[in-house]
């Protein structure tokens, strides 16, 4: 489902914000875009979460401690920030995004819903894309199947996912993540057309 842009909407929308429920595959999709579409600049978030096996500082995240995250927030270095799943802090560093847009690149932020709402306040010209699961059952299967979180964490993430699914109507466009390659191609062609 794609909502038409408001009449007179001619501003460039080189900044695309991708959000969606927990475990819908935002991370996999953005990794696919990073690996296959080098013309898309991908924001690297700061987080207080510990790295998972295989995650690389500066590529997947900037891993910082709580004090450094608080400093970045207070210094205005983050475009948006949120506590995700009631646990860790995540935020989008401002400088690199401004530089990418200044260089006329297509920029992609993969963030949670709270963060997307903050970006809409400060950068309403961005294009907001909701990544939806093919179905609720599929979302649950992906959430449990990932196996990187314990039971308590899974329950917490499912609760978050229910709330996040209800937010689809706040977005400009929905992409269904039925297949990562297809969804990535749809996302990038959307970016190119804006």
Q: Residue 4 or residue 76: which is nearer to ligand 5GP going by CB? A: 76
Number of Cβ within a 10 Å radius of residue 92: 23
Which one among 2, 3, 11, 27 touches ligand 5GP, defined by CB under 6 A? 27
Count the residues of the shown chain that bind ligand 5GP, applying the rule CB under 6 A.
16
Residue carrying the six token digits 């401690």:
65
Contact call for residue 112 and ligand 5GP (CB under 6 A):
yes
- Between CA 40 and CA 74 the distance in angstroms is 29
- Reported as type and span, the H/E element at residue 119 is helix 113-122
Beta bridge partners of 81: 91
Residue 22 known to bind ligand: yes
Residue 20 backbone class (left: φ over 0; alpha: ψ -120 to 50; beta: rest): left
Stretch that binds ligand 5GP, among 6-14, 65-73, 109-117, 170-178 (CB under 6 A): 109-117
Residues within window 38-97 making contact with ligand 5GP, judged by CB under 6 A: 45, 49, 80, 82, 84, 90-92
Q: Where are the beta strands (DSSP E) in 94-160?
A: 106-110, 127-132
Q: Is 84 marked as a binding-site residue?
A: no
- Annotated binding-site residues for ATP read 20-27
- Annotated binding-site residues read 20-27
Positions touching ligand 5GP (CB under 6 A) are 22, 26-27, 45, 49, 80, 82, 84, 90-92, 110-112, 114-115
């Amino acid at each position: 489902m794609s909502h038409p842009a408001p009449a007179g909407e001619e501003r460039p929308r080189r900044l695309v914000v991708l959000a969606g429920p927990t475990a819908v595959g935002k991370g996999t999709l953005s990794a696919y875009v990073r690996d296959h579409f080098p013309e898309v600049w991908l924001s690297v978030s700061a987080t207080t979460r510990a790295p998972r096996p295989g995650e690389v500082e500066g590529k997947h995240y900037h891993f910082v401690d709580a004090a450094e995250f608080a400093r970045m927030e207070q210094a205005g270095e983050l475009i948006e920030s949120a506590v995700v799943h009631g646990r860790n802090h995540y935020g989008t560093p401002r400088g690199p995004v401004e530089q990418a847009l200044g260089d006329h690149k297509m920029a992609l932020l993969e963030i949670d819903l709270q963060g997307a709402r903050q970006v809409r306040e400060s950068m309403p010209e961005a294009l907001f894309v909701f990544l939806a699961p093919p179905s609720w059952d599929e979302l649950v299967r992906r959430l449990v199947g990932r196996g990187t979180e314990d039971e308590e964490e899974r329950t917490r993430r499912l609760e978050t996912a229910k709330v996040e699914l209800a937010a689809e109507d706040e977005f400009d466009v929905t992409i269904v993540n039925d297949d990562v390659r297809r969804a990535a191609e749809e996302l990038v062609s959307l970016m190119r057309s804006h």
